[in-house]
A and B are shown apart, each in its own frame.
Chain A
Amino acid sequence: MQEEAFRGIVDAYTERLYWHVRRFLCSHEDTNDLLQDIFIKIWSALPSFRGEARLYTWIYRIATNEVLNYLRRQKFKALLSLDSVSASLERKIDEDAGFNGDELQRELHKAIRRLPEKQRIVFSLRYFDEMKYEDISEITGTSVGALKASYHHAYSKIKNELQRLF
Chain B
Amino acid sequence: MPFSVPEGYFEAFKVEMDTFEGKEPGLFRRLVPYMAMAAAFLFLVTGGTFLLQHTVPEEDFTQEDFLVFSSGISNYEYYEEMEHIADADIEDEDIIEYLIYSGISAEEIELSK
Do A and B pair up? The answer is: yes
- Residues in B whose Cβ lies below 8 Å from that of A101: 2-3
Q: Does A55 contact B (CB under 8 A)?
A: no
Determine if B10 and A28 form an interchain contact, defined as CB atoms under 8 angstroms apart: no
Closest residue of B by beta carbon distance from A97: B4
* A105 contact from B2, B5, B6, Cβ within 8 A: B2
- Residues in A whose Cβ lies below 8 Å from that of B18: 7, 10
B103 to chain A, nearest CB (A): 82
A131 to chain B, nearest CB (A): 16
Q: Does A56 contact B (CB under 8 A)?
A: no
- Residues in B whose Cβ lies below 8 Å from that of A3: 23
CA distance A35 to B1 in the complex (A): 17
Determine if B3 and A98 form an interchain contact, defined as CB atoms under 8 angstroms apart: yes
* A40 contact from B3, B6, B14, B24, Cβ within 8 A: B24
Interface size on B, residues (CB 8 A): 16
Determine if B1 and A22 form an interchain contact, defined as CB atoms under 8 angstroms apart: yes
CA distance A146 to B43 in the complex (A): 45
Contacting residues of chain A (31-65) with chain B, CB-CB under 8 angstroms: 32, 35-36, 39-40, 43-44
CA distance A96 to B18 in the complex (A): 29
* A100 contact from B2, B9, B10, B14, Cβ within 8 A: B2
Contacting residues of chain A (102-132) with chain B, CB-CB under 8 angstroms: 102, 105-106, 109, 128
CA distance A15 to B17 in the complex (A): 13
Known A-B contacts: A14-B10, A44-B24. Give 6 more (CB < 8 A).
A6-B23, A10-B17, A14-B14, A28-B3, A43-B24, A98-B5
A-B contact pairs, 26 of them (CB 8 A): A6-B17, A6-B23, A10-B18, A14-B10, A14-B14, A15-B10, A18-B5, A18-B10, A19-B1, A22-B3, A28-B3, A28-B5, A28-B9, A35-B13, A40-B23, A40-B24, A43-B23, A96-B3, A99-B3, A99-B4, A100-B4, A101-B2, A101-B3, A105-B2, A106-B2, A128-B1
Contacts from B to A (Cβ < 8 Å): 1-6, 9-10, 13-14, 16-18, 23-25
Contacts from A to B (Cβ < 8 Å): 3, 6-7, 10-11, 14-15, 18-19, 22-23, 26, 28, 32, 35-36, 39-40, 43-44, 96, 98-102, 105-106, 109, 128
